[in-house]
Amino acid sequence: MNRIQVILTIDTDNLPENFAEILKHEQEVVAEWKQKGILDHLFLRQTRNGAILIFKDIDEEKAKELMETLPLYALKKSVEYFNLIKQF
């Protein structure tokens, strides 16, 4: 079973004043992905500078398209994509 792991790092040194509002909208978007069954897991990083998302049943190109719609994407420092094969 294929998965796409995305590591999003945001620029925490330059957060806008409306960051709380952006974060709320972000949570709504990822909840919709989870409900649709395309987001398998979401991990917040302990350093609070980003997240790790695990998508399922989509390809890397679709994952990139989805990531670009995230409210926090505009605050990105980096985004990394990894194609994975789930063993168990």
Query: Distance of CA 36 to CAs 53, 67, 88, Å?
Result: 15, 15, 22
Query: Distance of CA 76 to CAs 9, 59, 73, Å?
Result: 6, 21, 5
Query: Distance of CA 56 to CAs 5, 20, 35, Å?
Result: 9, 28, 12
The DSSP secondary-structure symbol of 45 reads: -
Q: Does domain 2-85 fall into CATH 3.40.50.180? A: no
Give me the residue spans of the domains in the chain: 2-85
* Tens digits of residue pLDDT in 14-30: 999 999 999 999 999 99
Q: In the predicted model, is pLDDT for residue 11 greater than 90?
A: yes
* Tens digits of residue pLDDT in 61-78: 999 999 999 999 999 999
The pTM of the full predicted model, rounded to 2 decimals, is 0.92
Tokens of 1: 């079973």
